[in-house]
Amino acid sequence: MADTLTIHRAGLTAVQDLGRPGRSRFGLPVNGALDQYSARVANVLTGNAENAPLLEITALDFSCTPSADVLIAVTGAPADFTVDDVRRPQWEPTIVRSGETIRITGIRRGVRVYLAVYGSVNAPSLLGSCAPDTILGFGRQLRDGDEIAVHIPCPPLDHPVFRIPLFQLHAPVPRFGEACTVDVTDGPELAEFGATAGRLFDSGFTVTPQSNHIGLRMSGDVPRRLASGEVLSRGVPVGAVEVPAGDELLVLHRGRGVTAGYPVLAVVTSTSLSALGQARPGQTVRFRRRTVTEAVGAYRSQRHSINALRTRVRRVFDALHIPIPVPIPVPVPVPDQQLSHLVQQRSQS
């Protein structure tokens, strides 16, 4: 039998990966983990590919028990992470013995925590991704009592001196706090807001309860569009800061539709999308203007830090004779006619 995780308390937990980039031509959003940085680091810490399936735990408490020894990593927002009621560190690999209970409670200063397992977890794949799509009805939202199979059994983990390996890989941890600073570059309709465009950077905006994975609604001193012409529907990127009529900003996230017709004042940078994915209702978000060159530099720096962490992980795994896992995805066949039906279904929703 395959090794499994038995879910005792699911809360709001889904099996996620990094989504479906490049599928906009089918009318499908990218979806995937909202805090991509934390998800990538969790997988790297367990030796997995960055886009391997893992658990995204949102806001509520979670607990599970493995049927065999496993190596896990917990990243994302600060939380109380324990194994059989013993506190364990986030952002480092942790060994959990068969039958011990993993608990993640008290999520704070953010809203999402990521749990990766060595060898990755079993999840059906649609168009190369296990990311849920609520409109298509695809994806796995966990329930109490569910069992999740682990793709590859964890090898015996032993240290030649200390018996149980203790890891100190120093993964770079982002800042979590009451206020969230989000970097943006200029949007295509910036000039249409005249002097009021500066309001985006002059004060904070509050995330409202109507926010979700499709987009975040924010209240505050909203810039006003001076132009009166219509904006034709066109393709919009993840991170577009839209200004619809009214007193709210709409910041599109990974579940956004691929087209929209509101003016786009700014676009959130790739690195700041993860910070935005941790924003919760009532939190203050401040926007910071950046050039495209600065945004590209920040992205390259982040990629460098993840690659350096992967190198450290592989050196430690080699020293402990832990092979790098190569999970096999579980595809869901989608014939062309079925894909067309799914796209048509989504366009009518």
pTM across the whole model = 0.91
What pLDDT does 235 receive? Answer: 85
What pLDDT does 234 receive? Answer: 83
Alpha-carbon distances of 13 from 58, 214, 222, rounded to whole Å: 6, 17, 34
Cα distance between residue 84 and residue 87, in whole Å: 8
Total number of residues shown for the chain: 349
Closest C-alpha to 55, from 20, 97, 102, 22: 102
What pLDDT does 345 receive? Answer: 56
Closest C-alpha to 330, from 2, 25, 64, 74: 2
* Residue tagged 């910036």 (tokens): 190
Cα distance between residue 59 and residue 82, in whole Å: 17
First and final C-alpha spacing in the chain:
41
What pLDDT does 332 receive? Answer: 53
Cα distance between residue 115 and residue 207, in whole Å: 26
DSSP secondary structure code for residue 215 in this structure: E
Beta-carbon count within 10 A of 78 CB: 16
What pLDDT does 121 receive? Answer: 94
What pLDDT does 230 receive? Answer: 79
What pLDDT does 145 receive? Answer: 97
What pLDDT does 343 receive? Answer: 55
Which residues does the chain have with pLDDT short of 50? Answer: 335-337
* Residue tagged 């005249």 (tokens): 194
Question: Phi and psi for 310 in degrees, rounded to 5?
Answer: -60, -40
52 and 17 Cβ atoms separated by less than 8 Å: yes
What pLDDT does 240 receive? Answer: 96
Alpha-carbon distances of 124 from 65, 92, 183, rounded to whole Å: 22, 27, 34
What pLDDT does 223 receive? Answer: 94
Calculated CA dihedral for residues 153, 326, 112, 182, nearest 10 degrees = 160
Enclosing H/E stretch for 308: helix 292-319
Residue 120 CB partners (closer than 8 Å, separation 6+): 43, 48, 49, 52, 53, 54, 150, 151, 152, 325, 327
